[in-house]
Structure 1
Amino acid sequence: MAGPAADGEGAGRRWFLGIATGAATAAGLGAVAGCSNDDRDGGSAKGSGAESGAESGAASESAASGGQRAPAGTHGLDVKAENALPGHADWPVGKAGPARAVEGFADKVSVLPGESFGLHVSTTAPRFTVSAYRMGWYGGARARLVWRSEALPGTRQPEPTVDAGTRTVRTRWARSATVETKDWPEGSYLLRLDAQGGEGRRFVPLTVRSATTAGRTVVVNAVATWQAYNRWGGYGSYDGPGGGFASRSLAVSFDRPYEYDDGAGLFLVYEAPLIALAERLGIPLAYTTTTDVAREKRLLEGAAAVLSLGHDEYWSPEQRAHVTAARDAGTNIAILGANCCFRRIRLEASDLGPDRTLVCYKSSYEQDPGFKRGQPATVDFRSAPGADPESSLLGVIYDGYPVDAPYVVTNPGHWLFEGTGARAGDRFEHLVGVEYDKVSTGFPTPRPIEILAHSPVVCEGRPSHQDTAYYTVPSGAGVFATGTMRWVEALDATGDGSGGRNHGLDARSGALTTRVTENLLRVFAAGPAGRTRPAQDNVKAVYGSS
Structure 2
Amino acid sequence: MRHVLAALVLLAAGCAAPVAPRPAVSQRPAPAPAPAPAQAPPAGPVPWRITHRGGEHEIEGYADRVSVLPGERFRLLVSTTAPRFTASAFRMGARPARVWRSAPVGGERQPPPRTVARTVTAAHWKPSLTVDTTGWAEGAYLVRLDASTGGQRYVPITVRSASAEGRVVLVNAVTTWQAYNLWGGRSLYDGPGGFGDRSRAVTFDRPYDGSGARLFLDFELNAIRLAERSGVPLAYLTSLDLRPGALRGARAVVSLGHDEYWSPAMREVVTRARDEGVNLAFLGANAVYWRIGLSGRTVRCDKETRCPLWRQSRPESSLVGQMYDCFPAEAAYRVTRPGHWIFEGTRGRTFPGLVGVETDKVSAGSPDVQVLAQSPVDCGGRATVSHSTYYVAPSGAGVFASGTMRWVCGMKGAACGHGVTRAASAFTRRATLNLLTRFAEGPAGRSRPPA
| TM-based fold match above 0.5 | yes
Equivalent residue number for residue 254 of structure 1: 204
Structure 1 runs of 4+ aligned residues shifted over 6 Å read none
Cα drift, residue 8 of structure 1: 5.7
The aligned amino acid for 1:382 is R
Q: Which residue does the alignment assign to 2:310?
A: 381
Q: Deviation at 1:178?
A: 1.1
- Counterpart position of 2:436: 521
Cα distance in 1 for residues equivalent to 2:216 and 2:320: 22
Shift of 1:89: 4.3
Give a deviation string over 1:146-205, Cα, whole Å, max 9, x none: 111111111000001112x3x110111000011111001100000000112x12110000
Whole-Å separation in 2 of the counterparts to 1:86 and 1:523:
34
Separation (CA, whole Å) in 2 of partners of 1:249 and 1:418: 46
Correspondences of 1:116-515 after superposition (within 5 Å) = 116-138=73-95, 143-163=96-116, 165=117, 167-171=118-122, 172-196=124-148, 198-242=149-193, 244-260=194-210, 262-293=211-242, 296-348=243-295, 355-363=296-304, 365=305, 377-383=306-312, 387-422=313-348, 426-440=349-363, 442-443=364-365, 445-447=366-368, 449-494=369-414, 502-515=417-430
Whole-Å Cα distance in 2 between the matches of residues 493 and 450 of structure 1? 27
SS of alignment partner, residue 263 of structure 1: coil
2:28 aligns with: none
Q: CA RMSD in A?
A: 1.6
- Distance apart, 1:131 and its partner CA: 0.3
Q: Which residue is equivalent to 1:101?
A: 58
> Could you tell me which amino acid in structure 1 is paired with residue 200 of structure 2?
L
> What is the CA–CA distance in structure 2 between the aligned matches of 1:87 and 1:340, rounded to whole Å?
36
C-alpha contact (below 8 Å) 2:86/2:105 kept by paired residues: yes
Tell me the amino acid that sits aligned with residue 504 of structure 1: G
Distance in 2 of aligned mates of 1:170 and 1:421: 49
User: Where in structure 2 are there 5+ consecutive unaligned residues?
Assistant: 15-41
CA distance in 2, matches of 1:137, 1:493: 17
Deviation, 1:90, is 0.6
Give the deviation of 1:86 after TM superposition: 6.1
Question: Could you tell me how far apart the structure 1 residues matched to 2:309 and 2:450 are?
Answer: 29
CA distance in 2 between partners of 1:493 and 1:113 (Å): 34
Offset from partner CA, 1:454-510 (integer Å, 9 cap, x none): 01112233221100000001211000000000000111114xx7xxx5222110111
Query: Secondary structure of 2:51's match?
Result: coil
Residue 446 of structure 1, CA deviation: 2.1
Aligned partners of 1:217, 1:463: CA distance in 2, in Å? 37
Question: 2:218 & 2:429 partners in 1: Cα distance?
Answer: 15
CA distance in structure 2 between the aligned counterparts of 1:451 and 1:490, rounded to whole angstroms: 20
Post-superposition Cα deviations, 1:354-396, rounded to whole Å, max 9, x if no partner, equal x211000111x2xxxxxxxxxxx4211112xxx1110000001
Confirm or deny: 8 A CA contact 1:338 1:482 kept in the other structure.
Answer: yes
Q: Measure the CA separation in 2 of the matches of 1:456 and 1:8.
A: 21
The aligned amino acid for 2:159 is V
Give the 3 Å change call, closer, same or farther, for CA 233–388 of structure 1 in structure 2: same
Distance 1:87 1:185 in 2: 15
- Give the direction of change, closer, same or farther, for the CA distance of 1:289–1:150 in structure 2 (3 Å limit): same
Mapped partners of 1:533, 1:470: distance in 2: 13
SS across alignment from 2:310 = coil
Residue in structure 2 matched with residue 92 of structure 1 by the alignment: 49
- Letter paired with 1:151: P
Cα distance in structure 2, aligned partners of 1:93 and 1:232: 18
Deviations 1:90-125 (A, max 9, x none): 100111111111110000100001111111000011
**Cα distance in 1, alignment partners of residues 223 and 80 from structure 2:** 32
Counterpart CA distance in 2 for 1:95 and 1:264 is 14
After superposition, the C-alpha distances for 1:330-367 in whole angstroms (9 at most, x for unaligned) are 0000000000010011111xxxxxx211000111x2xx
- 2:196 is matched by which residue type in structure 1? A
Question: Aligned partners of 1:86, 1:531: CA distance in 2, in Å?
Answer: 44
CA distance in 2, matches of 1:16, 1:489: 17
> What is the deviation of 1:269?
0.7
Instruction: Name the structure 2 match of 1:9.
Output: 3
Query: What is the rounded CA distance, in whole Å, between the counterparts of 1:8 and 1:466 in structure 2?
Result: 18
CA contact under 8 A between 1:98 and 1:199: conserved in structure 2? Answer: no
Q: Describe the SS at the equivalent of 2:10.
A: helix
CA distance in 2, matches of 1:16, 1:109: 27
Q: Which amino acid aligns with 1:9?
A: H
Q: Is the 8 A contact 1:17 1:229 kept in 2?
A: no
